[in-house]
Chains A and B, each alone.
Chain A
């Protein structure tokens, strides 16, 4: 059973974010990492990059497939998880902790985010 922590918000593209205003960490969900399998490469947006909600801003490559990372909100990237360059498997091991992808300074009001309950429904959990 995939873990869906209560303190996070989610997208239909299987990303999570910690906050809905200010600065938030972003990652992919436990459900997503399990479906992708062993993650071997991550391409993240660059520091300071402007990202817009719903647009592709990076990619995650596993032994099985390549998946795009969609920006869950609009804003500017204020930090990236440097550890993933050498330890992409952190996303598998700790999707909500050491395996976070990047931090974004949110601009405007995020839309279309899912509550834990809604996300559980979306993945049939």
Chain B
């Protein structure tokens, strides 16, 4: 997956971003990890490992969850797809898959098999208000609820169609067999001109998810940034008797996290970038930017930042943009309305 496609072909981060917000864009995210968890009680086992409560969903549904360490650090954030109580598909981040699989294997009872399926599936994200119209032209189903999925087929090859995505728009993720992914990609790409759609790269994927305030592992969630700090409490089943990191996270939640993830919107032309220091008016350090970019939708700098807990929405802060002070306001994400549902 490139950062962006050539400007000469109508690409570029801004054009690709705009296509997804207003029409449709397709992303080849086959680099994402894939793993199977199979065997009697697979869902029950995963529910003792990952943070979110899998009893909230059933077969044909998907859930965002976290794989934590006993200390409450985040090994990865991932999506769990339930086929049946004994058959589950995981989509972790590419670089964390082997560690998630290792931890699951170590903890699982012998009869539950956990396998890395990286080259079993490709992943094509079709995102934007016209995504359903595009899939309909391919003969694929589109009327599932958000975070639901079905097994379908395209020209005789099986394709899993999920109502999921990372852009904040109505969208789908298609999982054909790895060997058939090129065929599905070409079919999607061939329909793009009809919708004035675009093939999209990693740059637009990042600006789209940052506008939604979605975390990216390694930036907003990490071994050092817990879900309590990242304000991902909604992805934790606090009532569950057990999950990895439960005690540490409960303790942090009870005493209050020292740092909290906040969203910042620039008041001038400064563009915040990861690692930049956030200060108050008096120059005292409040924390740092974890993700920052130029928002193509609102045409201003936006950031996610891990800040001292006393900072509140509405506060004005200063970001050190390579030696210049840029003024930013603490706001509630998302920066643009979500259309996932």
Enumerate chain A interface residues (CB-CB to B < 8 A). Answer: 34, 37-38, 40-41, 43, 59, 61, 63-64, 66, 85, 89, 92
Contacts and interface: CB of A to CB of B under 8 A. Distances in A.
Contacts of A63: 4, 12-14, 203, 207, 293-294, 296
Contacts of B296: 63
A8 B37 CA distance: 64
Nearest to A59: B322
B271 A41 contact: yes
Contacts of B14: 38, 40, 63, 89
Contact of A41 (B4, B7, B294): B294
B7 A64 contact: no
16 contacts: A37-B3, A37-B4, A37-B203, A38-B12, A38-B15, A40-B14, A41-B270, A41-B271, A41-B294, A63-B14, A63-B203, A64-B3, A64-B4, A66-B322, A85-B269, A92-B7
Contact of A37 (B7, B269, B273, B324): B7
B203 A61 contact: no
Contacts of B15: 38
Pairs A-B, 6 closest by C-beta atoms: A63-B13, A40-B294, A38-B14, A38-B12, A38-B13, A41-B271
A102 B296 CA distance: 26
Interface string B32-48: 00000000000000000
Among A34, A38, A43, A66, chain B packs the most CB atoms within 10 A around the CB of: A38
B13 A64 contact: yes
B271 A40 contact: yes
Given A63-B203, A64-B3, A37 B13 contact: yes
Contacts of B269: 41, 85
Contacts of A61: 271, 294
- The secondary structure that dominates the A interface is mixed
A125 B172 CA distance: 41
Contacts of A64: 3-4, 13, 203
Interface residues of B, number: 18
Contacts of A92: 7
B264 to A, nearest CB: 16
Interface in B1-42: 3-4, 7, 12-15
A98 to B, nearest CB: 17
B7 A34 contact: yes
Interface in B190-211: 203, 207
A61 B7 CA distance: 17
A18 B223 CA distance: 53
A46 B175 CA distance: 53
Contacts of B324: 43
Contacts of B294: 40-41, 61, 63
A41 B12 CA distance: 16
Interface in B305-341: 322, 324
Contacts of A85: 269
Nearest to B202: A64
A63 B294 CA distance: 7
A42 B4 CA distance: 21
Among B4, B270, B293, B294, chain A packs the most CB atoms within 10 A around the CB of: B294
B186 to A, nearest CB: 26
Among A37, A43, A89, chain B packs the most CB atoms within 10 A around the CB of: A37
A63 B203 CA distance: 8
Nearest to A63: B13
A3 B115 CA distance: 52
A33 to B, nearest CB: 9
Nearest to A38: B14
A116 B293 CA distance: 35
Contacts of B207: 63
A97 B247 CA distance: 63
Nearest to B17: A63
Given A43-B324, A59-B322, A63-B207, 4 more contacts: A37-B3, A63-B203, A64-B3, A66-B273
Contacts of A59: 322
A37 B12 contact: yes
B46 to A, nearest CB: 38
Nearest to B13: A63
